[in-house]
Structure 1
Amino acid sequence: MTSSETDFLPNLVAHIVAVASVNGNKAPSERELAEHFAVSRGQVRESLAILEAMQLIERRAKSGIYLTMDAAGLSSMALLARAGVQLNARQIFEAVELRKIHEIKAAELAAQRATEDNLDRLRDILDRSEKQIADGLGLYRLDGEFHLEIVRATQNEMFYKICSGFYAASEQRMPIYFGKPDRNLKSHQEHQQIFEALYRRDSILAQALMNTHLGRAQSYWTEILDNGVEQDTGLGNAPRVHV
């Protein structure tokens, strides 16, 4: 896929979601999409084939193209995030729960396998995090760096690729979660504790600390899911797409 095609997909998805959300989940036709974006129908057709393979849309004979976001997988969620399409509370909760399962195991393996380079990178992230907090800035980007470096320290490239997908899919919601100063400070303190466990090669403690750390985020989104979308999530005014 070329860079131009990569740039086109998020714009295409955003437009399809916007139209489908007020049109019974029915997306514009190939001709309408080609006219809207001033591109060839061939380019639209190729892009739609990608979206169909990702289970974001389906073609129905003699009916048209329909949005099918309930079937979206992790890679689809990452594309939706790039397109600026807000996930619903249930999707957010399930992604956070799955991330927790993976990263608890990552903490165990990282304690056993982390190299000095991994530990040095974690120290650097913690130093930059401390400065960010002192400057009154959120940690949402550095949080992802910290957690993905732990996954990288498992020395399992496939594991890293899977977990990278979680962070790509969470691009929209992380600034929301880290919008409050107390969450930034608490997260940084817990990151320091996790690092110390990794440094001491204490896999049991690293697992326990990661479980507690990610449990806080899971509890936050569980509360949102149980109580309905609240204002402080930033989701209240987001367009809802029911599929």
Structure 2
Amino acid sequence: MKKKLKPNEIVYREIQHKIMNGTWKPMSKIASENELAREFGVARVSVREAIEKMIALDILEKKQGQGTFVKQLDPSISFNSLIPSIILEIDKNSTVEILELRRALDVGSTKLCAERRDDTDIKKLTNIYNKMASNINNIDKFAHLDSQFHKAIADGTKNKMYKKLNNILFDLFEYHQEKIAYRKGPPTGALKIHKKILDAIIEKDTQIAAIYMERHLTSALERISKVEKM
């Protein structure tokens, strides 16, 4: 079942449609927040939220004292504008499907990260891992740090598309990270496999890093599949 769209999501779609059908052309100034609020019959705050999201995705640009403008379109902008529409169609309870998507993305990004990582990436991943180890008895915190670890891997790919897609999907992934959290005790197994992933990335062993990431997410998929069949 499709989720009901929030006002800001409706505005996002309407703005997206105006850009994609050419009503608002690249480099052109869009209508004001007040004008859009009246046009779409929503509160101004909903318009602002939609615009801020599009600015974050490099679809729109706000110029001080001038207003908000459509940025010059390029493949990454078209990609950015497509993904949120897909997300709006997703049932947030489709945990297995979300994890299958995450596995497909993260195995590839882990391999690239191991190949391209620099000292800054290693420092960031190591710092997150150490925090995971310190919070092994705090399941909620551990799950959040787990998501941060995956995000840092995407950043380490140095691939703009991987980074953008992960940023867009981050909230969705984190929501499901909570559902796959280990409720039968401390997630010692997850901590160990994250250490193996980290070590492989440090050693630039692309194959081993990808293997351990796939093993990690396949294990999560198997746990969720069992739960959802109960």
Name the TM-score, length of structure 2 as normaliser. 0.61
RMSD, aligned CA: 3.4
Q: Distance in 2 between matches of 1:165 and 1:220?
A: 25
Q: Distance in 2 between matches of 1:135 and 1:121?
A: 21
Match of 2:157 in 1: 154
Q: Distance in 1 between matches of 2:8 and 2:89?
A: 10
Match of 2:8 in 1: 9
My pick for the range that moved more, 143-152 or 168-177, is: 168-177
Q: Using a 3 Å threshold, how does the CA distance of structure 1 residues 10 and 41 change in structure 2: closer, same or farther?
A: same
Aligned length: 167
- Higher RCO, 1 vs 2 (CA within 8 Å, ≥6 residues apart): 1
Match of 1:223 in 2: 226
Q: Using a 3 Å threshold, how does the CA distance of structure 1 residues 187 and 10 change in structure 2: closer, same or farther?
A: farther
Q: Distance in 2 between matches of 1:75 and 1:186?
A: 33
Q: Using a 3 Å threshold, how does the CA distance of structure 1 residues 165 and 186 change in structure 2: closer, same or farther?
A: farther
Equivalences for residues 71-90 of structure 1 within 5 A: 75-76=84-85, 87-89=92-94
Q: Which amino acid aligns with 1:167?
A: F
2:105 corresponds to 1:102: yes
Match of 2:124 in 1: 121
Q: Distance in 2 between matches of 1:138 and 1:182?
A: 14
Q: Tell whether the 8 Å contact from 1:75 to 1:165 is kept in structure 2 after alignment.
A: yes
Identity %: 21
Tell me the alpha carbon deviations over residues 202-231 of structure 1, each in whole angstroms, 9 at most, x when there is no partner.
Answer: 111111111101101121233344x1xx5x
CA positional deviation for 1:111:
1.0
Tell me the alpha carbon deviations over residues 120-168 of structure 1, each in whole angstroms, 9 at most, x when there is no partner.
Answer: 0011001111111155654111011101111111101211111233322
Q: Using a 3 Å threshold, how does the CA distance of structure 1 residues 138 and 80 change in structure 2: closer, same or farther?
A: farther
Equivalences for residues 1-243 of structure 1 within 5 A: 9=8, 42-44=39-41, 75-76=84-85, 87-89=92-94, 92-134=95-137, 138-178=141-181, 180=183, 182=185, 184-225=187-228, 227=229
Q: Which amino acid aligns with 2:107?
A: I
Q: Using a 3 Å threshold, how does the CA distance of structure 1 residues 162 and 137 change in structure 2: closer, same or farther?
A: closer
Name the TM-score, length of structure 1 as normaliser. 0.58
